[in-house]
Amino acid sequence: MTIRLDGNQTANALMNTLQGQVAALKTAGVVPGLAVILVGDDPASAIYVRNKRRRAAAIGVASTVYTLPTTATQAELLAQVAALNADPSVDGILVQLPLPPQIDAAAVIVAIDPDKDVDGFHPVNVGRLWTNTPGIVASTPYGIMALLHAYGIHVAGLHAVIVGRSNIVGRPLAGLLLNHDATVTIAHRQTAGLAALTRTADLLVVATGQANLITADMVKPGAVVVDVGMNRNAAGKLTGDVDYAAVAPKTRAITPVPGGVGPMTIAALMMQTVALAERRANG
């Protein structure tokens, strides 16, 4: 029987645990603080930020959104980052991407204190991940690992194929899987013979933004499939990168879209914010 990897249920359980951790921190005089910088009025970004604030409030994390206009300069954004770096009440800083074209996102990421970089994008944190001394890790990969753990899926010894090489999902997830003793192959749009490669995967993770890219004939029987895609079909319905209806019966376990990886991403952000606050509490 196929296991449905329920991200909503798992995230809710994790949030309940975090609520207790936050209460203990507050008893010790520490209120976890998350600062989110939103530049411009991109509707999708506004929704993401609102969801993050709601989750933070639910567990007692103090979250503040700093909104800058679409016309903000890079200097103005860097000044805001510098102020938050210096604020001892802020444990985690997140700059919502994408940024307007006049701003160099890479320069902004580098400006964030790596010990407050709750997104895990700073080169220092990327280096820590790839030297197997991770601190803060990108939220989506962290959430995927937490979801697999919650369902007792151990990746050691598995051949993991990741379709997608972004700095947000594919690359950091590869590092995490390697650190947990999986054998990892990263595929992308230039990969020849994709179907033959994905059929070798014990764990198949797909993060391409291409709806229903993975069909049943591309999946090994008994594989674990993690669908990171979030697309809308012609009817406006959310769909993943995997043809769920066709693929699910072949799998050992699979994430739905929606309700799979998405909730775990925000839960992972909260987990790492609380972990940073605990580090502050412990000096």
Give the model confidence (pLDDT) of 11-41 as tens digits: 999 999 999 999 999 999 999 999 999 999 8
Give pLDDT, residue 130: 97
Give pLDDT, residue 235: 84
| Residue in this structure with the two tokens 């914010």, named with its chain if needed | 273
Between 40-44, 67-71, 146-150, 213-217, the lowest mean confidence (pLDDT) is in 40-44
Give pLDDT, residue 203: 99
The token pair that represents 279 in the structure block: 């580090």
Question: How many residues are listed for the chain in this entry?
Answer: 283
- What is the average per-residue pLDDT within 151-173? 98
Pick 226 or 233 by higher pLDDT: 226
d(CA 203, CA 160) in angstroms, rounded, equals 5
| Residue in this structure with the two tokens 């005089």, named with its chain if needed | 29
Res 134 pLDDT > 90? no
Give pLDDT, residue 99: 95
- What is the average per-residue pLDDT within 58-65? 97
- 174-179, long-range: CB < 8 A, 24+ apart: 175/129, 175/130, 175/134, 175/141, 176/129, 176/134, 176/137, 176/141, 176/142, 176/145, 177/145, 177/203, 178/132, 179/129, 179/132, 179/134
How high does pLDDT run on average in the chain?
96
d(CA 168, CA 134) in angstroms, rounded, equals 15
| Residue in this structure with the two tokens 């979030």, named with its chain if needed | 230
Res 161 pLDDT > 90? yes
Global pTM reads 0.96
Which residues share a beta bridge with 64?
35
Q: How confident is the model at residue 140 (pLDDT cuts 50, 70, 90)?
A: very high
Give pLDDT, residue 189: 85
CB 44 within 8 A of CB 38: no
- What is the average per-residue pLDDT within 240-250? 97
Give pLDDT, residue 42: 87
- What is the average per-residue pLDDT within 117-145? 96
- What is the average per-residue pLDDT within 150-173? 98
Give pLDDT, residue 233: 84
- What is the average per-residue pLDDT within 260-270? 96
Show the CA angle centred on residue 177, arms to residues 172 and 180, nearest 5°: 130
**Residues of the chain above pLDDT 70, percent:** 100
Annotated active-site positions, please? Answer: 52, 96, 119
- 179-185, long-range: CB < 8 A, 24+ apart: 179/129, 179/132, 179/134, 180/145, 180/155, 180/156, 181/155, 181/156, 181/157, 182/155, 182/156, 182/157, 182/158, 183/157, 183/158, 183/159, 184/160, 185/159, 185/160, 185/161
d(CA 134, CA 125) in angstroms, rounded, equals 7
The token pair that represents 5 in the structure block: 């990897």
